[in-house]
Homo-oligomer: A and B are copies of this chain.
């Protein structure tokens, strides 16, 4: 475990609060370390004991005559600070603080936790916890926890923000035959958090897949940076809870964590190649798949079955998950036809029919695995009179090992009669499921991850010409000097101009006459839009008129707008009316930004117009990671707006390149200028050549002062 060896593979461990009494946590920890087969030196520490289980017990860590790498602490919260200081003075490198009673219990505990953290920093110690179950590593081995049991050795690392969940999964894993390399209980994450362990597990040769249960991410920027690099090495599957409003409340009352908006998590996970599990079952189904099977090259699935019904259910799941049913080569089909009974189905799904013994399975599986159009294989088996579950399991294992580059999974639909086959598969690395749907979902996860691995996130920003950050900053400063936080139309236009985003020309007119003059200057026809810091939805109050072809029309429209706005919003301060040239046709989309508390600016793109909130046909990305054309293009392609942009129902295609550029510039702007809190370019019109931002709303805050 790169960098955290003093935690996972310490030369010496002290158990501070070690106890004689089997009811005490301090007993369980010491006992667990010994039983796990830990090979280093163990030092029990407890001023009230002189010996525990035949081992000398020390009064204080300071009394131990060699430097100790790791101290596991389980003593009352009030004393942890002092003990941690002694650890620091004695040269301890890592602390595992089991003790509860810190941040999770309120203000007093929060203070204690801050002090503890300060002590760690002072002595350069790293800390896991407080308020955690501890950690385990099956390869060193060490069980520095009070959990009841030690996992089977394997290649899954499980990092959990919930200690109870970790203990539950440990208990459950024995039945499932799951093997782990490490179990990490994060506790309050005062110092070390999920990102530290994802980083270290990614470099751990004993770990093939990293699982996390988390309720929040403390440092969004670092999470994205570390995970997008770690995910190139190993699959990371995260169950992030607190996704619901109610869930977020439960999360706050549970760990005092501030739950970030779920959309930001979705965007962050997607952008850095992290798979998001949608349930606990999903988390462990994916773990089983990744821990034992290679990644599929593409999404083409073959099914081999002895029953039609379950094959149809599986085929449905393949389509629902966006995977593809493999189309066999002519050679495969010919071979299947020649060697299977006439009643068999030789196309995908290959139905060996109910009287299939192992020989038929072996032949068919061998044949489809050879086929270059097949990327992964699901073997379905239902118990019938002549079915040979164990022999078939042996064939699956043998052939899966021979075709080691293609994932193979099994669905053994039944109970007792399939048990020996089932166990054989599990013991030999074939994920086996009772029902088909979860197996397909697991393959989908593998395909998604393979996609990321082959085309990982690039965090190096592309060059963007003609950006004048200083000019934009000046606009912000002027608005703030005017004691406003909402920009007027012409101010927002200047922001666009400063970042090279084409915007329709817009000038403020205070009178009919002025409006008419500007209209002639920018070129008729024009649009008029009310300018008021209080009015955000201008159309709703009659504040917009478009397609004005003459000076007279402009004058009349000016009067009408003023009348309507004064009627609807009598108290709103009116700065005047923006006069804007009309721009050529195109597809209207929205590009916008909101700021997430954990992950910073989120860029939104999608169908624009006044129904944007109704339709929710939008997609999100973290602005800080939205820095390459490829990522923006992926983003654009995700929503239904893309169908319009490509040219819908005979229309010409819109200039997606120019739109991409504008989105990149928007992301750059909101990353550069942290005072921008919200921004809507709605609509930005995408022409057959170029784009024009038509209506821009920018809200800022005075966070520098």
Residues of A near any B CB (own CB < 8 A): 23, 28, 105, 146, 148, 160-165, 167-169, 171-176, 213, 215, 239, 241-247, 249-251, 253-255, 279-281, 306-313, 315-320, 325, 343, 345, 347, 349, 351, 354, 382-385, 413-418, 434-438, 537, 540, 610-611, 614-615, 617, 640, 643-644, 648-650
Task: Give bound CA distance, A243 to B321, whole Å.
Answer: 12
Among A160, A254, A617: residue with most chain B CB under 10 A: A254
Task: Give bound CA distance, A308 to B255, whole Å.
Answer: 9
Chain B residue at minimum C-beta to C-beta distance from A280 = B435
Instruction: Determine which of B171, B306, B611 lies in contact with A164 in the assembled complex, contact meaning CB atoms within 8 Å.
Output: B306
Whether B165 pairs with A318 at a CB distance below 8 angstroms is no
Cβ of A43 to closest chain B Cβ, rounded Å: 24
Given contacts A313-B280, A319-B244, A168 and B414 within 8 Å (CB-CB): yes
Task: Give bound CA distance, A139 to B320, whole Å.
Answer: 39
Whether B415 pairs with A250 at a CB distance below 8 angstroms is no
Tell me if A's interface is mostly helix, strand, loop or mixed: helix
Residues in B whose Cβ lies below 8 Å from that of A611: 644, 648
Instruction: Determine which of B164, B243, B244 lies in contact with A354 in the assembled complex, contact meaning CB atoms within 8 Å.
Output: B164
Cβ of A3 to closest chain B Cβ, rounded Å: 27
Residues in B whose Cβ lies below 8 Å from that of A312: 162, 215, 241-242, 247, 250-251, 254
Residues in B whose Cβ lies below 8 Å from that of A105: 343
Task: Give bound CA distance, A147 to B643, whole Å.
Answer: 52
Chain B residue at minimum C-beta to C-beta distance from A610 = B649
Task: Give bound CA distance, A345 to B254, whole Å.
Answer: 8
Residues in B whose Cβ lies below 8 Å from that of A382: 164-165, 167-168
Cβ of A488 to closest chain B Cβ, rounded Å: 22
Chain B residue at minimum C-beta to C-beta distance from A244 = B319
Whether B242 pairs with A316 at a CB distance below 8 angstroms is yes
Task: Give bound CA distance, A23 to B355, whole Å.
Answer: 12
Given contacts A279-B437, A318-B246, A164 and B614 within 8 Å (CB-CB): no
Chain B residue at minimum C-beta to C-beta distance from A414 = B171
Chosen A-B contacts, 25 in total, with CB atoms closer than 8 Å, are A161-B309, A162-B309, A163-B307, A165-B309, A168-B382, A171-B415, A173-B415, A174-B416, A175-B416, A176-B415, A243-B320, A244-B316, A244-B318, A244-B320, A246-B319, A246-B325, A253-B347, A254-B308, A254-B345, A280-B436, A280-B437, A540-B649, A540-B650, A610-B649, A614-B640
Top 5 A-B residue pairs of the complex, sorted by shortest distance between their CB atoms: A162-B309, A164-B307, A244-B319, A171-B414, A168-B413
Whether A171 pairs with B610 at a CB distance below 8 angstroms is no
Among A168, A239, A435, A617: residue with most chain B CB under 10 A: A168
Whether B537 pairs with A308 at a CB distance below 8 angstroms is no
Cβ of A416 to closest chain B Cβ, rounded Å: 6
Residues in B whose Cβ lies below 8 Å from that of A309: 160-165, 213, 215, 241, 254
Instruction: Determine which of B250, B418, B615 lies in contact with A640 in the assembled complex, contact meaning CB atoms within 8 Å.
Output: B615
Task: Give bound CA distance, A658 to B130, whole Å.
Answer: 64
Task: Give bound CA distance, A255 to B343, whole Å.
Answer: 12
Cβ of A164 to closest chain B Cβ, rounded Å: 3
Whether A614 pairs with B383 at a CB distance below 8 angstroms is no
Instruction: Determine which of B246, B307, B437, B615 lies in contact with A281 in the assembled complex, contact meaning CB atoms within 8 Å.
Output: B437
Instruction: Determine which of B168, B244, B315 lies in contact with A246 in the assembled complex, contact meaning CB atoms within 8 Å.
Output: B315
Residues in B whose Cβ lies below 8 Å from that of A165: 307, 309-310, 382, 413
Residues in B whose Cβ lies below 8 Å from that of A148: 383, 385, 417
Residues in B whose Cβ lies below 8 Å from that of A315: 244, 246-247, 249-250
Task: Give bound CA distance, A75 to B598, whole Å.
Answer: 70
Task: Give bound CA distance, A162 to B305, whole Å.
Answer: 13
Other than the given A164-B307, A213-B309, A280-B436, 15 more pairs (CB < 8 A) read A105-B343, A164-B308, A165-B382, A167-B382, A175-B416, A215-B312, A241-B309, A241-B312, A244-B318, A246-B319, A251-B312, A279-B317, A281-B437, A281-B438, A540-B649
